[in-house]
Amino acid sequence: FLCHSIELIPYIHTAARHTYDSGLSVVLHLYYFYPENDEAYIYSNQYFFGSNMFVSPISQPVNTTTGLVENWPIWFPSDSQWVNFFTGDLSSSSKTKSFTLDEMPVYAKVGSIIPLLSQPKSSRERIGRAQRIPETLLLYTLIGGSSKGSGYVYEDDGITIEYQDSSRATNAVTYFNYTVSDNTLQFSVSAASSLFSTFPLTRTYEIHLRGVFPATSVLLNGVTIPFEPFNELIHGQDGTTNGYTYDGSKLSIIIYIRQSISTLQSFEIQIELLDSITHPLLVKVPTSFVGLLARCQSAKARVEYEWDVNSYR
């Protein structure tokens, strides 16, 4: 979870700017958004983290027989559907859920596009990441059956207080959104709202579309992006050209834009999907196929740990 908190730096920094502008904390209790719902007061263990996610930290031991935290009380506001940030599992109307140790209850609104830091290429790159403007931006998109979604990222130099100076460009905002019509998904990234001295003129991107079936084709500004087998990518064969792959363990399309794009220009990606984003296997609740896959992987890891076996043998 520490690594995930580092990855969330662009999201947290964007939320911190909202705090600066509005005076509202990054962390807010449920009743701030839902003052007329009794549940917002009853479920005191939950809180919002930024405007798109809520967290429900578990504070009870696991069942040593099942390996689960069972019947953990959790409330999903009914004005939206919610998707687990880590497993991709969709919310339901249930007031309790079970979790493994690696399934921290962090949920985002379906259709959210969360800006993240990509994985560093070396351990040295981890040092000082919070103060550096990322050269590669990861856009983690939680589809969850939603035909549209959006997000944005705020950036400044990360060191000085020049962001307080409104007389000149000291920060930049980049917007992103997607829409789905039939089985065609259009993903767009805007040009940066302005430039400042340390803002990169070009940037690469990594776009994750969570909770979808494979793509039949992917086009960047009308140019076809080739498919790359996922098993080659996990062995480091990621190349230097644009490409896309499919992670079947997470039901995710991953698009790698490795050739830098000007931050002064917008761009669009068109993805033709093999099947509908509302296919029952993707959106069925209380447990979608995405969530079942995540639970199976957790069970596999537990079997290997408890009995010292390698399930790939």
Q: What is the DSSP secondary-structure string of 81-96?
A: -EEETTT-PBP-S-SE
pLDDT value of position 90: 85
> What distances in angstroms separate CA 53 from CA 80, 251, 280, one per listed residue?
12, 21, 24
Q: How far is Cα 82 from Cα 106, in angstroms, rounded to an integer?
A: 10
The string of pLDDT tens digits covering residues 104-151 is 899 999 999 999 998 877 667 777 777 789 999 999 999 999 999 999
Q: Do 264 and 284 fall into the same domain?
A: no
Give me the CATH number covering residue 63: 2.60.40.1180
Residue 11 lies in a domain: no
Low-confidence ranges of the chain (pLDDT < 50): none
The Cα–Cα gap between 156 and 9 comes to 13
Q: How far apart are CA 176 and CA 279, in angstroms?
A: 25
pLDDT at 139: 98
> Angle at the Cα of 231 (from 83 to 298), degrees rounded to 5?
45
- The mean predicted confidence, pLDDT, of the chain is 88
For the whole model, what pTM was predicted?
0.90
pLDDT at 141: 97
The shares of helix, strand and coil residues in the chain, as percent rounded to the nearest 5, are 20, 35, 45
How are beta strands 202-210 and 136-142 bridged, if at all? parallel
Q: Are residues 75 and 145 in the same domain?
A: no
Total domains, the chain: 2
Whether 104 and 156 map to the same domain: the answer is: no
Instruction: Pick the closest to residue 173 from 9, 36, 10 (CA basis).
Output: 10
Answer positive or negative: Cα dihedral of 64, 65, 69, 70.
negative
Please check whether residue 24 lies inside any domain of the structure: no
> Does residue 16 lie in a domain region?
no
Q: Do residue 206 and residue 90 come from a single domain?
A: no
Ordered alpha helix ranges (H), the chain? 2-7, 9-22, 30-33, 39-42, 230-233, 280-283, 289-307
Rounded to whole angstroms, the maximal C-alpha distance in the chain is 64
Check whether residue 201 and residue 290 sit in a common domain.
Answer: no
Residue 220, pLDDT score: 98
Q: Are residues 235 and 217 in the same domain?
A: yes
Q: What pLDDT, on the 0 to 100 scale, is given for residue 1?
A: 54
